[in-house]
Amino acid sequence: MKHISERELQLPEAQIGRLLKIAAEDKSIISMSVGEPDFLTPKPLLSYAKTIINKSTHYSPTSGIHELKEAIVKKLKKDNKINLSPENIMVSCGSQQAIFTALLSTVDPGEQVIIPNPSYLAYIPAIDLVNGTPIYFKLDQENNFEINPDKIKEVIDKKKSEVLIINTPSNPTGTVISKKILEEIADIAVENDLYVFSDEAYEKLIYDKKHVSIGSLNGMQDYVVTFHTFSKSYAMCGFRLGFAAGPKKLIEAMSKVSHYVVLAPPTLSQLIGVKALSLPNKYVNVMVKEYKRRRNFLVKRLNEINLETKMPDGAFYAFSSIKNYSNNSNNFAEKILKKAKVAVVPGTEFGRYGEGFIRFSYATNYSLIEKAIDRLEKFLKKKSNSLA
Band of pLDDT at residue 385, cut at 50, 70 and 90:
low
SS3 call for 345: strand
Q: Give 100's contacts (C-beta < 8 A, 6+ positions apart).
A: 126, 129, 130, 261
How far is Cα 77 from Cα 93, in angstroms, rounded to an integer?
A: 22
- Confidence band for 387, pLDDT divided at 50, 70 and 90: very low
- Over residues 60-82, the mean pLDDT reads 98
Q: What is the CATH number of domain 52-276?
A: 3.40.640.10
Tell me the CB-side half-sphere exposure of residue 230, using CA atoms within 13 A. 30
pLDDT on residue 386: 54
% of the chain with per-residue pLDDT over 90:
90
pLDDT in tens, 215-261: 999 999 999 999 999 999 999 999 999 999 999 999 999 999 999 99
Superfamily of domain 6-41+282-383: Aspartate Aminotransferase, domain 1 (3.90.1150.10)
Mean pLDDT of 98-108: 98
Q: Which residues pair with 342 in a beta bridge?
A: 30
Residue type (1 letter), 30 = I
Residue pLDDT, tens place only, 182-211: 999 999 999 999 999 999 999 999 998 999
Average of per-residue pLDDT across 305-324: 97
Burial of 67 (0-12, 13-18, 19+ CB in 10 A): middle
Domain ranges of the chain: 6-41+282-383, 52-276
- Higher pLDDT pick, 386 / 277: 277
Secondary structure of 264-287 as H, E, C letters: CCCHHHHHHHHHHCCCCCHHHHHH
Question: Residue 31: which pLDDT band, with cuts at 50, 70 and 90?
Answer: very high
Q: Which has the closest alpha carbon to 200: 163, 167, 248, 249?
A: 167
C-alpha triplet 128, 35, 247: angle, nearest 5°: 55
Q: How confident is the model at residue 384 (pLDDT cuts 50, 70, 90)?
A: low
Which residue, 103, 74, 101, 79, is CA-closest to 90?
A: 101
The predicted model scores a pTM of: 0.95
Q: Quick: pLDDT tens for 141-166.
A: 999 999 999 999 999 999 999 999 99
